[in-house]
Structure 1
Amino acid sequence: MAHPADIPAGTLRRTTLAAAVGNTVETYDYAVYGFLATVLAKVFFPASSPTTALLSSFAVFGSAFLARPAGSLVFGPLADRLGRRPALVASLLLMATVSTLIGVLPSTATIGIAAPVLLVLLRFAQGLAAGGEFTTAIIYVAEFAPPHRRGALSSRVQVGSLAGLLIGAVVVLFLNAELTREQMLAWGWRVPFLLALPLGAIGLYLRSRFGETPEFLAARSETSAQDANVNDLRARVLLLVGVSVLHVIGFYMTYTYVQSYLIQLGLSPFTATSVIAFALLIGLF
């Protein structure tokens, strides 16, 4: 059993890259909805006023965040009992499958109220996958990394998240440049979701080559349990929840909602998405 300090630099680089790239794929799937919110509002809420339709579209977007805690309750125990790798593979497989299903989902004009209902259910499933993805990926990298490099290497997972958002923004930017508004409403909005299938296959290939982390293997082989102060654990959990909530609100307000807000102010979808893509590019560095 290798100790993190004894892992070859090449192996550490590959596993860290695989964790980050897998998170890139999953964040892309999760974020595309935000960049297409104004289009999806017309596809799934055509009878509402523009403002109501957009609010309804973002309410569906928010349903995935409500599912994130449930995702942590599903994938957290899975990662602790079966290993980090199975949890990461399962979360990516769920995300890619659900995103593909959104891409083939009939519109409200075709199947009526069932369309937004199914959209909410699929977005909820995306939230379950996201709830098990980001933190598990960071844990995976941290448990592989030597103690003195954990911060630096774990931050690459966040770089992977920004890269996923950037790829989603570029795909939507390209579609806005090449397609008319009518084409985007008719079928163009489906393209980014359908791209989840090949991107997910890439991520699954990379994650199937993962090894399990040294710390997880060591913990599984231990026979004695360590006593923990329950009250102290609860306080730490609440603190982490508070920090995470603030982080996620700021993150998605900046990188998804602002795009729709700029469109509402009168900027074209191409210009608004370009602004976000530039911000994401800066964020990578």
Structure 2
Amino acid sequence: MSVGMPGPPAPALAADQQQAPAKIRRAVYAGGVGNFVEQFDYGLYGYMAPMLASSFFPGGNSAATVMSTYAVLAVACVFRPLGGTLVGRWGDRVGRKKALLWTIVMMGVSTALIGALPTYQQVGFLAPLLLVLIRTFQGMISGGEYVGAVAFIMEWAKPHQRTYYTSYASNSCFLGILGGAGVAALVSTAFEQPVLESWGWRIPFLAVLPLSLLGLWLRSRIEETPEFMRETEGGTNIVKAPVREALREQWRPILVFCGASIMLAILSYTWVTYYPEYLTSNVGLTRSQALLSNLISVAVLMPLLPLAGKLSDRIGRKPMLIIGALACIFLVPLAFAIGEQGSFTAAVGSQLVYIVPEFFLTGIVTTCSAELFATRTRFSASAIAYNSSFSIFMGVTPFIAALLVDGFGTIYAVWAYLAAAAVLALVVVTVFMKETYRSELGANKFA
């Protein structure tokens, strides 16, 4: 495959970006805050799964009730492609900013509603039904939030520094997960177990509402992206049916992204959502130890992601993805073996090994979710691609991981699941993917 040579950016766009670094920073903050809210909720839901299980499902087999909680997460993610497609269509027609203003408000409200739901002991089976409905709505909204935020940041980014800037979108996700882990650990430490299971778990969910209002304020202060304004100047190039056009003209990059991104979804959400529960239930660490070990590894990865972004902007997307896939195959089982030693130090060490493939994959997959697609249908195409692969596997992975460990009795069954996705990614990236790191942002890379 040939590597596209850099195309000259529109003079007005280049000048605007060179003269207004403060605007780019505001765009990063505005785009990232929604990712933070989304992943704060997602991480919190995963970390608090045992408490949620006892509140919303009938008692009995503890493993079954926790898996039921993960199943709710999986069901919600199944609806992300539908929601992402609807939000993406809106974002391509009326602009990134307007779509993202609505998504952050609706995410905050739906997360806060979880904290106000009645329990199974109070209303019976109505409790899990309400939980499923709210998570489903939230999943639909989240399906457009992340890809829209990434497109927003990338369309503000300086040419040939796209992954560096979008690495902060990835960091906002990890910061949200870090916040979810920290709050979960704080609440778990501050309250006795009966209080935590009774009402203490509600506090972090309710706290998301003011966070979303802060995000609304940040997004209201930034203009529409220069790239979108240039592409739709005068309203003459706005696509009437962006979803249909994306499916007709960009189906190849959609399939390429799907094949390349599944491994990262499995890698990341085994780590941040399931692994702390595994360390607690199967290895013997206390819940606070498991959460703290996870928090440390996330904190170590975050400052490394901008460095990974700079490396990718220099050597390309494909080499990073290939190295990351190989690391999934060969380093993850080593990480699991270290964690099986059963100490807090071993838990930290295992996750420090685990973040090596995260370093090579996280920001690059984020960049590809926008960079593979043309500007006029970027929101719609990236929503279809991201939610048809990453989001679905993000949602089902904690449930599948718990099912695999329960069925096979070993964490290495999860590694086999990840390795299969990594082999698929290696084939897709090496054979079908075109290099995009020096291509013009607005063009269809597979035309």
How many angstroms apart in 1 are the aligned matches of 2:223 and 2:238? 25
Mapped pair 1:64 → 2:76: yes
Q: Is the 8 A contact 2:91 2:148 kept in 1?
A: yes
How many angstroms apart in 1 are the aligned matches of 2:238 and 2:132? 41
User: What letter matches 1:12 in structure 2?
Assistant: I
Deviation per residue, 1:134-191 (Å, 9 max, x gap): 1111110111112122121111100100000001110011011111111110001101
1:229 is displaced (CA, Å) by 9.9
How many angstroms apart in 1 are the aligned matches of 2:248 and 2:144? 25
1:56 is displaced (CA, Å) by 0.5
> Which has the greater radius of gyration?
2
Mapped pair 1:284 → 2:302: yes
Give the match for residue 94 of structure 1.
Answer: 106
Give the TM-score normalised by the residue count of structure 2: 0.61
User: What letter matches 1:279 in structure 2?
Assistant: S
Choose the corresponding residue for 1:191, options 203, 217, 236.
203
Q: Is the 8 A contact 1:42 1:53 kept in 2?
A: yes
1:244 is displaced (CA, Å) by 3.0
Deviation per residue, 1:32-74 (Å, 9 max, x gap): 1111011111111133311111111110121222122112111
Moved more, 88-97 or 241-250: 241-250
Give the match for residue 170 of structure 1.
Answer: 182
Give the match for residue 285 of structure 2.
Answer: 267
CA-atom RMSD in angstroms = 2.0
Q: 1:28-43 residue pairs with structure 2 within 5 A?
A: 28-43=40-55
Identity of paired residues, percent? 35
Cα 1:224/1:11, change in 2 over 3 Å: closer
Choose the corresponding residue for 1:219, options 213, 223, 231.
231
Q: Is the 8 A contact 1:46 1:53 kept in 2?
A: yes
**Residues matched between the structures, number:** 284
User: What letter matches 1:118 in structure 2?
Assistant: L
How many angstroms apart in 2 are the aligned matches of 1:223 and 1:209? 26
1:5 is displaced (CA, Å) by 4.0
Q: Which runs of 5+ in 2 are unaligned?
A: 1-10, 240-244, 304-447
How many angstroms apart in 2 are the aligned matches of 1:229 and 1:251? 28
How many angstroms apart in 1 are the aligned matches of 2:60 and 2:129? 16
Deviation per residue, 1:187-220 (Å, 9 max, x gap): 0110110011111111111111121001111222
Q: Relative CO higher for 1 or 2, CA cutoff 8 Å, sep ≥ 6?
A: 1
1:224 is displaced (CA, Å) by 5.8
User: What letter matches 2:195 in structure 1?
Assistant: Q
How many angstroms apart in 2 are the aligned matches of 1:57 and 1:224? 45
How many angstroms apart in 2 are the aligned matches of 1:230 and 1:39? 42
Give the match for residue 3 of structure 1.
Answer: 13
User: What letter matches 1:88 in structure 2?
Assistant: L
How many angstroms apart in 1 are the aligned matches of 2:190 and 2:217? 31
Give the match for residue 180 of structure 1.
Answer: 192
Cα 1:82/1:264, change in 2 over 3 Å: same
Give the match for residue 150 of structure 2.
Answer: 138
How many angstroms apart in 2 are the aligned matches of 1:274 and 1:196? 21
Q: Is the 8 A contact 2:156 2:227 kept in 1?
A: yes
Mapped pair 1:26 → 2:38: yes
Q: Is the 8 A contact 1:4 1:145 kept in 2?
A: no
* Paired residue secondary structure (2:223): coil
Q: Is the 8 A contact 1:4 1:144 kept in 2?
A: no
1:117 is displaced (CA, Å) by 0.7
Q: Is the 8 A contact 2:54 2:65 kept in 1?
A: yes
How many angstroms apart in 1 are the aligned matches of 2:14 and 2:166? 14
1:100 is displaced (CA, Å) by 0.6
